[in-house]
Amino acid sequence: MNRILLVATLILSVISADAQYKWDFGVKAGGSNYLGDIGGQELTRRDFIWDMRLDDTRMNYSVFARRKMNKRWALAANADYISVWGIDANSSNPARRARNSNFRNRIVELGGRAELTVFYDNDVGGKGYYDPDYRFFVFAGLAGFYHNPQGQIFGAVDADGNILDSSYKSQWYDLRPFRTENQESEYEKIGLAVPVGVGMYFTFNKQFRLGWELNWRTTFSDYIDDVSGQYGDIAEIYARGGEIGAGLAQQSNQNIIDLINGDPEMLDDPLHINNHQWQVDNDDQNQSKKGDPTHNDSYMTMAVTGSYVIRGTSTFYKAKYSWLNQRRGSRRSRAKF
């Protein structure tokens, strides 16, 4: 009878083992970058990381919770603080350098995702200790984010073509209220993104997890960097936002154009200032292009992850099989004569 109880206990412990480690809670920290209209490499816009600059990388921080559903699937929720920025002055693309725009954006994101384990090793090293174990997974989900792009004035000119006072350079201005492309209304601060990526982690002592992940978010907004379409009517922007609004909307000037045209390594055909400002004689449909409205903006994070696994026994196990331990512990000692 004791042997039967022992075997039953072992079987039930294996069945309930998965339930004992369903939840883990943790933090992430790493770098963040973005793909949009500002900054970038030498060529025109390219997808994924090929148009990103490493020196534009900023920091991101996150907290998360994850629930294991079975051996392959898990569900996770996250709250992220993500900083991105871009600056045309760092780009090696002549047209972007001439545009001379810049921005920063501090994004707050709440999201959920499903994780699918595509490879695992329960006994890393094959020594029979089953510590640590390893998981490699892919994921996809949905996230909502709040953002508010800001910009600085670098070499912008006033209505008479004079370069604005350098005191403007030290300040960051919210770009959305100025409607820098003279949009009819302000774009939304709340947006949706689709996160997809890969990740991995090791679990030590069945309690501590250390890992890494790459998370790419495709958004439904083209205004993460405040740039999307064409240059707006600078007179209307000036009337609405004054010298600051006009300076943020149009940052190119002839000095920048002359510097680029004087660099033989930068380009073969000379640039013209008219391609980087509002043209009074053109209608709204024939204005100079400022951004690329055919592609929405994206941002990515690469982070180290650490989490703590909550240890516990399933409710089913406690309710149905706790009598096993009680029975094993209920042997009565008999008096010996």
Distance CA 331, CA 115 (A): 47
Distance CA 136, CA 213 (A): 10
Of 315 and 190, which is predicted with more confidence?
Answer: 190
CB contact at 8 A, 37 and 294: no
Give the per-residue pLDDT at 336: 45
**CA-CA distances (angstroms) from residue 4 to 111, 316, 321, 324?**
48, 21, 14, 11
Q: Domain boundaries in the chain? A: 20-328
What are 101-158's pLDDT values in tens digits?
899 999 999 999 999 999 988 777 667 666 788 999 999 999 999 999 999 987 655 5
Q: How confident is the model at residue 10 (pLDDT cuts 50, 70, 90)?
A: very low
CB contact at 8 A, 144 and 94: no
What are 298-311's pLDDT values in tens digits?
999 999 999 999 97
Q: Kindly tell me the number of DSSP H helices and DSSP E strands found in the chain.
A: 5, 10
Quote the mean pLDDT of the chain: 80
Burial class (CB in 10 A: 0-12, 13-18, 19+), 76: buried
Residues in the chain: 337
**Tokens describing residue 290:** 């400022």
Give the per-residue pLDDT at 212: 98
Q: How confident is the model at residue 166 (pLDDT cuts 50, 70, 90)?
A: low
20-328 CATH: 2.40.160.20
pTM: 0.78
Which of 68, 24, 19 lies closest to 305 in space, CA to CA? 24
Distance CA 149, CA 37 (A): 13
CB contact at 8 A, 288 and 275: yes
